[in-house]
Amino acid sequence: AAAGSELPGSAALTLLGPAPGAPCCPHGPALLFVKTSQGKEDGRRFYACSACRDRKDCNFFQWEDEKVSETRLAAREEYNRSHQPFFTHRQNVDRYKNFVLLPLSKRRFCQECQQLLLPAEWKKHSDHQFLCEITTAQLKSPSQLLYPLENKKTNAQYLFADRSCQFLLNLLIDLGFRRVLSVGTPRLHEMIQSKASQEEEFNVRSLLLDIDFRYSQFYTEDEFCHYNMFNHHFFGGEAVRETCRKFLCEENGERVIMVTDPPFGGLVEALASSFKKLMAMWRETEKEGDDNREMPMFWIFPYFFESRILDFFPSFSMMDYQVDYDNHALYKHGKTGRRQSPVRIFTNLTPSMIVLPEEEGYRFCTVCQRYVSSGNQHCEICNSCTSKDGRRWKHCALCKKCVKPSWFHCNNCNCCTLQKHSCEKTDTGCFVCGKAGHKRSACPSLSRS
């Protein structure tokens, strides 16, 4: 539900936020929505699943004012219970301990169930595809072993290209951080964990928060928390929340940074609300009371969400660095030339501290006091490096701002737009990219094919 935020016509679904006393689906407390048309509430408010943008993944629905019978409540509780993972995290940790004791010849991974198998379980999976001789190296890179849940709108698992992951890690180490709260960044977590186990002097630690419970097979309770970032729900309850809280305590002067790379189709307002709660958790653990400090954060998201993110986090700025992915046809480096990735880093750290690699063409603009991409020219009139997408933008005197190179000024519309457009069409356009003609759910900027 949280997905198809647009309905036909000018109607849309608006998130009213996490509501106290909201009913629960297997993904934790549901979110409260209302249908709006022309900006006004129009119709009954209802609850829907926070995590699943596809009805097929979770079809939870309840009117806000609906009376739910005792029988239905009991059935729902039973349903939620039965939709919890088969093994608990504790059990998975024990299973892992047993697994690594096995000789190589007995280490199997079921590809269908996405599960490490103990010999006693082989029979049950005999007609499933499995991988043999799982090495320690493979166990240390679960993001390579597990298949990315990319087809499911819900998870939208797009893994960092090694180059981008390495860049992020080096950057935060150079900035002096020693603890990383990895929210939906399993590959960054994995890189940190694996270096920590291999290099003696490497002293960075990471805690992974993710809704993908498959990772609980590879990490202990101090390394992975089953978490929903759309409603700030810790699946394991208080004990798991406490693990996260403890991690955020900056003991021995080990500074913490949060790095997150949420599904792009997700609701920014729901994410922002959860991230504020994680920031509050960090602030509560502060010994010295400087109330204005914010937990340092990298929020990785497409550039066309800039204004939405800044609405919620005015202290953030967008960096020019283009984040690349492995399993994303659109957002990765090609062999010939470079596909421009629209994905950027948003941060509340001082932009001048974020050093971008000069060998990839980034340069420092002394006026703007930040690194910019090679194509991003400083505009004397705007007095800033104005390009958002890496291409050189051009200044329009009539609009009094810089615009995309492919745009031209339309005197009818009184603004710059694509050559091909129909004038004075009051279509509000796509919520994601701002273009007319399609809705957010069908936005080509988000297409992953």
Q: Is 155 in the site for ligand SAH (CB under 6 A)?
A: yes
Among 46, 47, 109, 158, binds ligand SAH (CB under 6 A): 158
Residue nearest ligand SAH (C-beta atom): 184
Side-chain-side CA neighbours of 8 within 13 Å: the count stands at 0
Bridge partners, residue 33, by sequence: 15, 46
Among 3, 22, 27, 192, binds Zn ion (CB under 5 A): 27
> Could you give phi then psi for residue 305, rounded to 5 degrees?
-95, 5
How far apart are alpha carbons 28 and 80 in whole angstroms? 9
How far apart are alpha carbons 99 and 119 in whole angstroms? 9
Residue number, 89 or 187, with CB nearest to ligand SAH: 187
Mask: binding to ligand SAH, 225-264, rule CB under 6 A, as x and -? --xxxx------------------------------xxx-
Left, alpha or beta for 31 (phi > 0: left; psi -120 to 50: alpha)? Answer: beta
Characterize 205-240 residue by residue with b for buried, 16 or more Cβ atoms within 10 angstroms of its Cβ, and e for exposed.
Answer: bbbbbbbbbbbbbbbebebbbbbbbbbbbbbbeeeb
Length of the chain: 449
* The entry of ligand SAH, Zn ion, none that residue 385 binds, CB within 5 to 8 Å by partner kind: Zn ion
List alpha helices for 259-395, DSSP H.
Answer: 268-284, 306-312
Q: DSSP class of residue 216?
A: G
* The entry of Zn ion, ligand SAH, none that residue 188 binds, CB within 5 to 8 Å by partner kind: ligand SAH
Residue 75 CB, nearest approach to Zn ion (Å): 15
Residue in 43, 22, 25 with CA at minimum distance from that of residue 34: 43
Cβ-in-10-Å burial (0-12, 13-18, 19+) of 305 comes to buried
Q: DSSP class of residue 185?
A: -
Q: Which of residues 254-313 bind ligand SAH (CB under 6 A)?
A: 261-263
Residue number, 282 or 299, with CB nearest to ligand SAH: 299
* The entry of Zn ion, ligand SAH, none that residue 346 binds, CB within 5 to 8 Å by partner kind: none
Among 195, 363, 409, 438, binds Zn ion (CB under 5 A): 409
Q: Which of residues 164-223 bind ligand SAH (CB under 6 A)?
A: 184-188, 210-212
Residue 417 CB, nearest approach to Zn ion (Å): 8
Is-contact 157 262, C-beta < 8 A? no
Residue 348 CB, nearest approach to ligand SAH (Å): 20
How far apart are alpha carbons 215 and 189 in whole angstroms? 11
Please tell me whether residue 276 adopts helix, strand or coil conformation: helix
Q: Which of residues 361-400 bind Zn ion (CB under 5 A)?
A: 365, 367-368, 378-379, 381-382, 385, 395-396, 398-399
* The entry of ligand SAH, Zn ion, none that residue 368 binds, CB within 5 to 8 Å by partner kind: Zn ion
Q: Is 58 in the site for Zn ion (CB under 5 A)?
A: yes
Q: Which strands make up the sheet holding 233-234, listed edge to edge?
A: 233-234, 224-228, 205-210, 179-183, 256-260, 297-302, 343-347, 317-318
Residue 275 CB, nearest approach to Zn ion (Å): 20
* The entry of Zn ion, ligand SAH, none that residue 367 binds, CB within 5 to 8 Å by partner kind: Zn ion
Region binding ligand SAH by CB under 6 A among candidate stretches 74-82, 153-161, 368-376, 418-426: 153-161
Q: Is 372 in the site for ligand SAH (CB under 6 A)?
A: no
Residue number, 186 or 296, with CB nearest to ligand SAH: 186
Residues that bind Zn ion (CB under 5 A): 25, 27, 49, 58, 60, 365, 367-368, 378-379, 381-382, 385, 395-396, 398-399, 402, 409, 416
Residues that bind ligand SAH (CB under 6 A): 51, 155-160, 184-188, 210-212, 227-230, 261-263
